[in-house]
């Protein structure tokens, strides 16, 4: 599969999201942070502890990447150019954001980046539901 097609995949997934019934889900604000109890280390790596810092998951910085925003028409044209018009159809325009957030890597507090793609429609331009998000994490960590 070509690199160009793979790079379009997150945008196409976001563009095809179903609007659903509008139910967002349970409010978890005020709950204690999740602490993993999964085994770690192994394969020659030493064991380490999972962090439970209050700021894990906190967004440090974000920006819209306007050059990566696409209309549904442009995404459908891209699908047609790869002979994939019968496989998928973009229903919505897509906005893309780069987000820097706090996470952990082998028990160390780090900042990482991710690309988030949101479907956009005329009727609710920025009212996105959590399951409408496509998350493509970078393989780069900021210490």
Q: How far apart are CA 93 and CA 89, in angstroms?
A: 11
What's 71-130 look like in SS3?
CHHHHHHHHHHCCCCCCCCCCCEEEEEEEEEEEEECCEEEEEEEEEEEEECCCCCCCCCH
| Domain coordinates in residue numbering, the chain | 3-18+50-142
What does the pLDDT read at residue 40?
Answer: 80
- Predicted TM-score (pTM) above 0.85: no
Residues 6+ apart with CB under 8 A from 63: 97, 98
Low-confidence ranges of the chain (pLDDT < 50): 1, 5, 19, 23-24, 125, 127, 130, 139-143
Q: In what side-by-side order are the strands of the sheet with 108-120? A: 59-64, 93-105, 108-120, 134-142
For tokens 């900042």, the residue is 111
What does the pLDDT read at residue 39?
Answer: 77
Radius of gyration of the chain (CA): 18
What does the pLDDT read at residue 141?
Answer: 42
Angle (nearest 5°) at CA 26 between 97 and 15: 35
């Amino acid at each position: 599969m070509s690199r160009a097609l793979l790079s379009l995949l997150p945008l196409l997934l976001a563009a095809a999201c179903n609007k659903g019934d509008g139910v967002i889900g349970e409010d978890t604000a005020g709950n204690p942070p999740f602490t993993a109890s999964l085994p770690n280390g192994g394969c020659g790596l030493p064991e380490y502890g999972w962090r439970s810092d209050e700021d894990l998951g906190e967004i440090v910085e974000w920006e819209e990447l306007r050059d990566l925003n696409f209309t549904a028409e442009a995404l459908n044209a891209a699908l047609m150019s790869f002979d994939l018009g019968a496989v998928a159809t973009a229903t919505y325009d897509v906005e893309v954001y780069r987000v820097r957030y706090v996470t952990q890597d082998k028990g160390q507090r780090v900042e990482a980046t991710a690309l988030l793609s949101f479907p956009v429609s005329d009727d609710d331009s920025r009212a996105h539901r959590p399951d409408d998000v496509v998350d493509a994490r970078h393989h780069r960590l900021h210490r």
